[in-house]
Structure 1
Amino acid sequence: MFKYEKDPIFTVDEVTNKIREAIYASGELQNVSVKGELLGFKRHTSGHSYFTILGNETRISCVLFRSNASSVILWPKDGDEVLVRGKVDIYGARGSYQIYATSMLPLGEGAKARAKELLFRQLSAEGIFDVRHKRPLPPFPRKVAVITSPTGAAVQDVIKISSTRYPACGLVVVPSLMQGACAPSEVREAFSRCAALDDISLVMLVRGGGSRDDLDPFDTEEVVRSIRSCPVPVITGLGHQVDRTLSDLAADAYAPTPSGAAEKVFPDSGELLFFLKNSKRSMHAHLTNKIAKTYSELADSKRRIIFSLDRGVIAPAYEYLGNVRSSLSANILHRLSEYETKLSSAAGALNSLSPLNVMSRGFTICRDSEGRMVKDAATLTERQDIRVCFRDGHADAQVIAVFTNDRERKGSSDAS
């Protein structure tokens, strides 16, 4: 019998699983950052990358899957000091543990310079840094999101300058790590939160001073693409005046310090008030001069219109009316003269035909008792009352006898 027959016996798979469970139970190994010297970096045709990082006495195998390997591009070389971020897990097929990396960052100066240059070339080819894509900062922002460390000096500088220069603008502080291996992912998440905010005029990405190595997160593709994909303009103030990061190149505006960025974002309310007062005075003077000039022009126009009406309309019309009046008067007088002549001629003709004119020569008019004119003697009878009209009066008479032209007595012939 075996000496340890009472101890449990495990299969290889069971041991491997227990080791995996022990690793999973350690939360810090599920999101770990490891630095070391790069060795044997290989890119497989599948798109995955395989490499080893060396310590002083040990080494760890690593794999970077295709979905994350695209950000590494071509910069890694054997001997580079790198920072690998990912999770530790068991690779059961070989009975070894390895790091399943999500990102790899250069730490050595040479590696960092190569990585930055290669990333700059790639993003430039995509137009990420094209000045034509840069958006102007709003002149009077209503609300500004500030991505920064909530405990750093940068946020205090921004708050102080905004309250002094332009207190009407609201501020929303979006906290994020601003250095270290976790900073790129946190900055990306901060930009995602900014995109979900309402009424944001622009985003400030600022941090305080530090060494050049502290700015490495802002040379990563993750942060640069977050800046360009932001729906509102972005200004950076990363606290380094010597070297510009790729984030500075991608932003719509750049300042070397958080204070400089704040002065670009927030207009000076004192200067605005001074400008408005000067503008008011200038507008008042301009309007006064404009009104005086317009009044003078209107007076000149009035005089020209009156003169033009007088010479071009009123005077010709007055002359025309005078001529018409003279012509009308002459025409009326001529017509009156003609009608007077015709009237005189008609009066003469009428007078010559008038019974009164005949009666003035001794003729009379005879009328019966009913006033009818007696034209023939044969219409009269004896003892009939008649009226004889003279030129200057009349006389009533009675017919004694009636004689016709044949000298016969009408009454005698009737009696026989």
Structure 2
Amino acid sequence: MTERKLHQLTVDELTFRISSLLLQDPVLQSVVVKGELAELKKHTSGHVYFTLMGGESRISCALFRNYLPYVPQWPRNGDEVLAEGAVSLYPPRGAYQLIVRRLMPLGQGAAERARLELEQRLEAEGLFDVRLKRPLPLFPEKVAVVTSRTGAALRDVIAVAGKRMPSCALVVVPAQVQGYEAPGEICSALANAGRVEGAECVLLVRGGGSRDDLTPFDDERVVRAVRNCPLPVVSGVGHEIDETLSDRAADVRAATPSAAAERVFPDSADILVSLAQKHRLLRSAMDREVRSFEKDLASFQDRGRTVAEREIALRVSGAELFASRLGAAGARAVAAAGERIAALGASMNSLSPLKVFDRGYSLCEKDGVPVTSAGMLSEGDGVNLRFADGDAAAIVSGVSLRRQRGA
């Protein structure tokens, strides 16, 4: 019998070898461990340390502070939880431990505390503010549906859409909606639904079940994914009495998947009835407007005719008054002009040389030129003498000049 050769290792080498074996096991690097929470302590560094208790064993756990935002402030000693993380070796103590990334409560009391604490924190953050709610499209042409591909919820949505609005296209974005892996899948599906080309809103639906089955829809990651979806989200999860935090974050909450589909898809028959009613109302309103316009036009024409007649009469009256005033002014001007002409005639008549003739004077002309001085005549000149009643020819028999005064 051949003797087996033994390997001699230092403590550090053995520890390193065991640690390497743990790192090589994919199961141990992404494992979910169920146990009872005990010895919960929060270190001054921000890290949280605790123990998970089993029936006959225990394991030390560490939750580093960078993972704290993903865990509600609910854990208490004695709570039954699921701890997701990776198994590693802690060399200083030579003990294996679980590096926890996420905790999920299992007990009803613990789960409810976790949900209430998360709800209060998100409420304070404003994530449920009604002012963030977005309106749904009136007549959608394409809708994304986030749900299980094999669930009854999808069949309900398809049935309602086919009956109420068959023209709308449905794009199914599948996701697991129950179990430990559901929150991650729902978040990914919501992100993919928001990128569906031409989609106008998202239906997030799941059929009925126990309240524990709806736990994924109370997960903080899912709640934030609903609020951050670029499209309006309509949630229809569980039964009418069930309300999840995702329902509060959604733009519209419906009691069931069928009710959610009815909120998104308007009934085509109702649309036709509504259109017919609106057509009648519009036609009636148009008829009233036409009659009112005709009445206003007739009234305007009557008022226009009356105003025109009154304006014409006023203008005729003004013209007559102006003509009368113009005639009177013209008569006064003619009379004044006649008086002026008469005065000028009298003045001219008084200055006429004929008036001189009436006083016994005569006009002496030589060769048609008036003789104004005796010096213009010579003895023997022939002259013409003009009187008031006729003319006489004469011969100058002599000229005698008078001596001028002062000469």
The interval holding the TM-score normalised by the smaller chain is: 0.7 to 0.9
Alignment-mate amino acid for residue 334 of structure 2: L
Deviations 1:164-209 (A, max 9, x none): 5446656554333211111212323334445566765433322233
Aligned to 1:330: 328
Contact 1:380–1:402 (8 Å) recurs in 2: no
Change (3 A) 1:325 1:22: same
Alignment-mate amino acid for residue 267 of structure 1: P
Contact 2:349–2:355 (8 Å) recurs in 1: yes
Matched, 1:210 2:204: no
Q: Deviation of residue 31 (structure 1)?
A: 1.9
Instruction: Measure the CA separation in 2 of the matches of 1:150 and 1:245.
Output: 21
Matched, 1:178 2:177: yes
Aligned to 2:345: 347
Q: Deviation of residue 156 (structure 1)?
A: 4.7
Change (3 A) 1:400 1:110: closer
Deviations 1:331-365 (A, max 9, x none): 32233223223323433443454445666899765
Instruction: Measure the CA separation in 2 of the matches of 1:389 and 1:340.
Output: 33
Q: Give the 5 Å matches for 1:31-42.
A: 31-42=30-41
Deviations 1:194-242 (A, max 9, x none): 5566765433322233333221111122222322333443221123333
Deviations 1:68-94 (A, max 9, x none): 234444533444332222222222233
Aligned to 1:245: 244
Aligned to 2:286: 287
Contact 2:382–2:396 (8 Å) recurs in 1: no
After alignment, is 28-37 or 199-208 more displaced?
199-208
Instruction: Measure the CA separation in 1 of the matches of 2:175 and 2:382.
Output: 150
Q: Give the 5 Å matches for 1:148-163.
A: 148-159=147-158, 161-162=160-161
Aligned to 2:370: 373
Change (3 A) 1:279 1:366: farther
Instruction: Measure the CA separation in 1 of the matches of 2:109 and 2:228.
Output: 30
Contact 1:212–1:240 (8 Å) recurs in 2: no
Change (3 A) 1:12 1:141: farther
Aligned to 1:267: 266
Instruction: Measure the CA separation in 1 of the matches of 2:211 and 2:176.
Output: 16
Contact 2:381–2:396 (8 Å) recurs in 1: no
Deviations 1:2-52 (A, max 9, x none): 954x34333333333333333333323322223233343433343333333
Contact 1:84–1:104 (8 Å) recurs in 2: yes
> Which stretches in structure 2 are left out of the alignment for 5+ residues?
403-407
After alignment, is 176-185 or 300-309 more displaced?
300-309
Instruction: Measure the CA separation in 2 of the matches of 1:182 and 1:85.
Output: 11
Alignment-mate amino acid for residue 375 of structure 2: A
Matched position secondary structure for 2:283: helix
Q: Give the 5 Å matches for 1:39-78.
A: 39-78=38-77
After alignment, is 193-202 or 78-87 more displaced?
193-202
Matched, 1:24 2:19: no
Aligned to 2:405: none
Change (3 A) 1:191 1:384: farther
Q: Deviation of residue 389 (structure 1)?
A: 6.4
Matched position secondary structure for 2:89: strand
Deviations 1:96-122 (A, max 9, x none): 322222111122323322322333333
Alignment-mate amino acid for residue 213 of structure 1: D
Instruction: Measure the CA separation in 2 of the matches of 1:198 and 1:403.
Output: 145
Aligned to 2:101: 102
Alignment-mate amino acid for residue 347 of structure 1: G
After alignment, is 240-249 or 7-16 more displaced?
7-16
Contact 2:379–2:399 (8 Å) recurs in 1: no
Matched position secondary structure for 1:50: strand
Instruction: Measure the CA separation in 2 of the matches of 1:110 and 1:264.
Output: 34
Change (3 A) 1:31 1:387: farther
Aligned to 1:410: none
**Number of matched pairs:** 401
Matched position secondary structure for 1:206: strand
After alignment, is 56-65 or 211-220 more displaced?
56-65
Contact 1:378–1:402 (8 Å) recurs in 2: no
Q: Give the 5 Å matches for 1:398-413.
A: 401=396, 403-405=398-400
Contact 1:178–1:207 (8 Å) recurs in 2: yes
Contact 1:33–1:181 (8 Å) recurs in 2: no
After alignment, is 225-234 or 352-361 more displaced?
352-361
Query: RMSD of aligned C-alpha atoms?
Result: 3.7
Change (3 A) 1:250 1:379: same
Q: Deviation of residue 162 (structure 1)?
A: 4.2
> Which stretches in structure 1 are left out of the alignment for 5+ residues?
408-416
Deviations 1:246-305 (A, max 9, x none): 211222211122222122123334433432332233122212212221331243244335
Contact 1:85–1:181 (8 Å) recurs in 2: no
Instruction: Measure the CA separation in 2 of the matches of 1:71 and 1:362.
Output: 151
Alignment-mate amino acid for residue 221 of structure 1: E
After alignment, is 69-78 or 95-104 more displaced?
69-78
Instruction: Measure the CA separation in 2 of the matches of 1:393 and 1:272.
Output: 125
Aligned to 1:303: 302
Paired-residue identity, %: 45
